[in-house]
Structure 1
Amino acid sequence: MDPHRVGPTAVRPESVHVALTRGMVLEDRQTGFVGAAVAVEKSGGKHLVVLEDRRGVHRAFPLGPGFWLEGRPVIVDPPAPRRRPPAGPVSAGGRRLTASGSYAVEGKRARVARASRIWVEGKHDAELVEKVWGDDLRHEGVVVLMLDGVDNLEEVMAAFGPSPQRRAGVLVDHLVPGSKESRIAEQVRAMPGGENVLILGHPYVDVWQAVRPARVGLQAWPEIPRGTDIKHGTLEALGWPHADQADIARGWQRILATVRSYKDLEPSLLGRMEELIDFVTAPGTR
């Protein structure tokens, strides 16, 4: 039986208000589109929720009535403001710092998401960026999305449609002369609107190597032979479990847990991320 159908003698359920949370799975009652909430935007004075379906398709819908949540009609309100206690180190002057080294803005709500975006290659990149720059990005309203591989960059940028006010910043691995990544970057820059896309990268094959090796007790990250998966090879060189994807996930979490602030990352990543944030938050962008 369709859980949305109301019989002739049944009482139609009354819509209730719910505050939007990230990951909340909603169904738009008019179109039937079902997806998880990944961002909130403000356009024309209205709040929009961006839903992502299981195929990775994104669609935006006005917040308010017209949604199903777990089989019941709901009115979706903007997210409740998050007031988190200040965390991180303290400067010599007594001011709290974020993990990126910026002064923490205490007692201020995260701003509504910008139209401009930053993309990173994958899950591990996104988790590292969140750990170090998460507070700064929320303060600026910058959403970080995953490409799931640099090979998708042209398609993602074509769908995004960058403009002078709607910029795209992209962080990629192994952006060195002659690499596949550098060739794709040049192709994207030549696309319509490509001048509004800033593609930067670090020289490492994988973002793992942007963590200072001393954090895991090494003087340098091991050299992994060509043809060997770098994550698998790194864990093997460290003497950590490396048999399957679950071992790789646990190994990365073990490395990520050693990162306390920007001081635990290599400068070649730090500078690139700061440039990307400046690019998508420059005056005149939205």
Structure 2
Amino acid sequence: MSDRYGTDVLKTDWRVPPRGRAQEVEAEHGLVVEDVDTGWCGAVVRVEKAGGMQVVHLEDRRGRVKGFPLGPGFLLDGAPVILTVPTAESRARSAAAAAARSRTASGSVRVTHRRARVASGSRIWVEGRHDAELVEKVWGDDLRVEGVVVEMLDGIDDVADLVRKFAPTADRRLGVLVDHLVAGTKETRIVAEAARVSPHVRILGHPYVDVWQSVKPARLGLEAWPVIERGRSWKHGILAELGWPHASQADVARGWKKILGSVRSYSDLEPTLLASVEELIDFVTVT
């Protein structure tokens, strides 16, 4: 039977405020709260002792900063909270986050308050979309600051002719990143011919069958990348070994997105690739 008179109010805590009881929350840097009395909403920028009391300073979206007594009287996502002094652990966490924000994915010091340069004449060529997307994710911020554009090659068989057409100079340099650059392969012979075209081109590579392998396998929960036998599509084989869909090119594209998504910074890439890309960037940005 339904209760026509509703819940017994005496069995509930009728003293609980409509928004719930206030919970203690550390006033960590960046925490966005609202002052109940004034409606001021902002992010915590610092907590300090002033006039014998703890004061939390909140910065609103216009960059204005206002101080409030630390303690009760704040809302966090609409729920009441009591702001407390951050612990040493949370302060260390905030400092680490600030340090991370000061670095790009490549580990370089992040340049702020400076627009990206207009593209220079220098270029870096890479083999295929996946190489370009990986370089963009890790080194994109650095390249924009330097005004260097990354362009895709559809294979390197004709790279010597392409270098001749580009006609690199001391002020308009060219760097080329090549997949599977291993001694004795056709890639090595092609690169040697192209490198003789001009002293203002530098061609470097990595030993991996595909740029996928330059991502450390641990990022995918692997001890090592699977070995795919000759005659089998390498990318489809890798996806099959990982237990991911691999029947179509759309599956390959989705698989690469998952792999690329596992890359957080340069530390997730193999040193061989890092060294080659960094050297190419240095070469094309020499002034």
Report if TM-score (shorter chain) is over 0.5.
yes
Supply the distance in 1 between the matched residues of 2:160 and 2:231 (Cα, whole angstroms).
26
More helix by share: 2
CA distance in 2, matches of 1:132, 1:90: 19
Match of 2:252 among 248, 251, 267: 248
Secondary structure (helix, strand or coil) at the match of 1:151 reads coil
Task: Answer yes or no: is 1:126 the counterpart of 2:135.
Answer: no
161-170 or 254-263: bigger deviation: 161-170
In 1, Cα distance between equivalents of 2:149 and 2:272 = 22
What letter is aligned with 2:125? Answer: W
CA separation of 1:118 and 1:215: change in aligned 2, threshold 3 A: same
Partner of 1:169: 175
Residue matched to 2:22 = none
The answer to whether the Cα contact below 8 Å between 1:147 and 1:156 also exists between their aligned partners in 2 is no
Equivalences for 1:55-134 in 2 at 5 Å? 90-91=98-99, 96-134=102-140
* Number of corresponding residues: 192
Q: CA deviation at 1:229?
A: 1.5
What is aligned with 1:196? Answer: 200
Query: Residues 181 and 215 from structure 1, CA distance in 2 versus in 1: closer, same or farther, beyond 3 angstroms?
Result: same
Structure 1 counterpart of 2:71:
none
Q: Cα distance, 1:197 vs. partner?
A: 0.8
After TM superposition, give the deviation of residue 90 of structure 1 in Å. 4.2
Q: Which residue of 1 aligns with 2:46?
A: none
- Structure 2 SS opposite 1:181: helix
Q: C-alpha distance in 2, partners of 1:108/1:89? A: 22
Map of 1:280 onto structure 2: 284
Cα shift at 1:153: 1.2
TM-score by structure 1 length?
A: 0.65
Question: Percent of pairs identical after alignment?
Answer: 64
Distance 2:178 2:247 in 1: 27
Output the CA distance in 2 between the equivalents of 1:146 and 1:90: 34
Q: Give CA deviations for 1:25-69 in whole Å, capped at 9, x if unaligned.
A: xxxxxxxxxxxxxxxxxxxxxxxxxxxxxxxxxxxxxxxxxxxxx
How much has 1:179 moved relative to structure 2?
1.1
Give the aligned partner of residue 146 of structure 1: 152
Q: Secondary structure at the match of 2:208?
A: coil
Q: Aligned residue for 1:231?
A: 235
User: What is the SS of the residue equivalent to 1:150?
Assistant: coil
1:80 aligns with: none
| Aligned with 1:261 (options 261, 265, 272) | 265
Contact persistence 1:110–1:140 (CA under 8 A)? yes
Report how far residue 148 of structure 1 moved.
1.3
Matched, 1:137 2:152: no
Cα distance in structure 2, aligned partners of 1:213 and 1:262: 14
Q: What is the identity, as a one-letter code, of the residue corresponding to 2:196? A: A
Q: Distance in 2 between matches of 1:115 and 1:157?
A: 14
SS in 2 for 1:113: coil
With the length of structure 2 as denominator, give the TM-score of the two structures. Answer: 0.65
What amino acid does structure 2 have at the position aligned with 1:119?
A: W
Between the aligned partners of 1:171 and 1:151, the Cα distance in structure 2 is 13
Give 3-state SS (helix, strand or coil) of 1:139's partner. helix
- Structure 2 CA distance for partners of 1:95 and 1:202, relative to 1, 3 Å: same
2:222 counterpart residue number: 218
Could you say what secondary structure the match of 1:195 adopts? coil
Unaligned stretches of 5+ residues in structure 2? 1-95
Amino acid at match of 1:216: L
3-state SS, counterpart of residue 227 of structure 2: coil
Residue type of the partner of 2:157?
A: D
Deviation at 1:152, TM superposition (A): 3.1
Query: Is structure 2 residue 209 aligned with structure 1 residue 205?
Result: yes
Instruction: Confirm or deny: 8 A CA contact 1:90 1:97 kept in the other structure.
Output: no
Deviations 1:179-207 (A, max 9, x none): 1111110011222xx21110000110100
RMSD: 1.4
The answer for unaligned runs of 5 or more in structure 1 is 1-87
Q: Which residue of 1 aligns with 2:69?
A: none
Distance 1:269 1:187 in 2: 22
